[in-house]
Amino acid sequence: MAKINFGGVVEDVITAKEFPLKKAQKVLKNEVVAVLGYGVQGPAQALNMRDNGIHVIIGQAKEDKRYWKKAIADGWVPGKTLFPIEEAVQRGTIIQYLVSDAAQKILWPKVKANLKKGDALYFSHGFSIVYKKQTGVVPPKFVDVIMVAPKGSGTSVRRNFLDGSGINSSFAVHQDYTGRAMERTMALGIAIGSGFLFPTTFQMEVYSDLTGERGVLMGCLAGVMEAQYNELRKHGHTPSESFNETVEELTQSLIRLVAENGMDWMYANCSATAQRGALDWRHKFRKAVAPVFADLYKSVATGKETEIVLRVNSAPDYKVKLEKELKAIHDSEMWKAGAAVRQLRPENRKKK
């Protein structure tokens, strides 16, 4: 492991320098990695591993025709590299449990019944293990229980792999039956194309992940965008002006500068007026949202958030209600304005 200073705190990380792909291939040489679920993370991790020379098979319910056909379109062959869930578990030695959190609870009896002594049960999220009282997912003692959690969507995992950048992932070993759990975990982390790997625990991963998704990464981001857009519109600003000042400049300019060089560099390289306002109002926003984040973290840690996820996502009309909620966002003036703005980007005008 390499020791890296993160803001004054030294942490251990693993890169391809400390654990090269050739070493990962050697560790996984005799393994059959069964990727269960071909929805979000499954395709990205499976395709990256396949491209890296790892023996991968897919486990997917044939009844779910959308994902079964998606797997076939990506080159997985029924009866050879594409199987029903139970058969994939039987054939695999490393079982990547990458179906949704709600589906993990539902499918667990089938998965558990087909695990073999010495298998590795792999997760990309601590949800099912940490909230076992809600999910019922308690692995048998005769398997390794490991995790590699990419810090991005499946789309980003695949895209970053293809452009050579990789995406950062956390990793953890929850149960080491074989004595090889750690090397299996690190090998898989490299094989799926991680930029670098940093250690965590199943509990810390799920607490931070659920807080991040509901907070800055998605929930908070959408909420503050809507609040600013609505305030501008209330004072007579046009939809295009309101959207550009709320979303477009952030996503097409400023956030890229933050990604490349950090917030301080972005502040130092904007106008003096923007700089002064950002420095002053930053503290007001932090103080305003701090109580919300405190409530959010408590809701995650107590299991309230996971209870909601399992209850809502397991309802028979879940997809219908989800589509309705997403349609409300899609049909809002703000995101209709966004669609128009995106069409006016130079790269999109050239396609016409």
User: Catalytic site residues?
Assistant: 125
For residue 170, what are the β-bridge partners? 149, 198
Cβ atoms of 321 and 315 closer than 8 Å? yes
Question: Any residues with CB less than 8 A from the CB of 132 and at least 6 apart, and which?
Answer: 138
Other CB atoms within 10 Å distance of the CB of residue 184: 24
Cα 106 from Cα 100, distance rounded (Å): 10
Pairing label, strands 144-150, 167-175: antiparallel
- Phi, psi angle pair for 4, to nearest 5°: -125, 140
* Residue 172: strand, helix, or coil: strand
Q: Check: CB of residue 119 under 8 Å from CB of residue 95.
A: yes
> DSSP for 14-81?
B-TTTS-HHHHHHHTTT--EEEE--SSHHHHHHHHHHHTT--EEEE--TT-HHHHHHHHHTT--BTTT
Q: How far apart are CA 148 and CA 129, in angstroms?
A: 14
* Residue-wise DSSP of 281-305: HHHHHHHHHHHHHHHHHHHHHTTHH
- Alpha-helical segments (H) within the chain: 21-27, 41-51, 65-73, 85-91, 101-113, 127-130, 132-135, 154-162, 181-191, 202-214, 219-234, 239-243, 249, 255-261, 263-268, 272-301, 304-313, 318-330, 333-343, 346-351
Distance separating the N- and C-terminal Cα atoms of the chain? 50
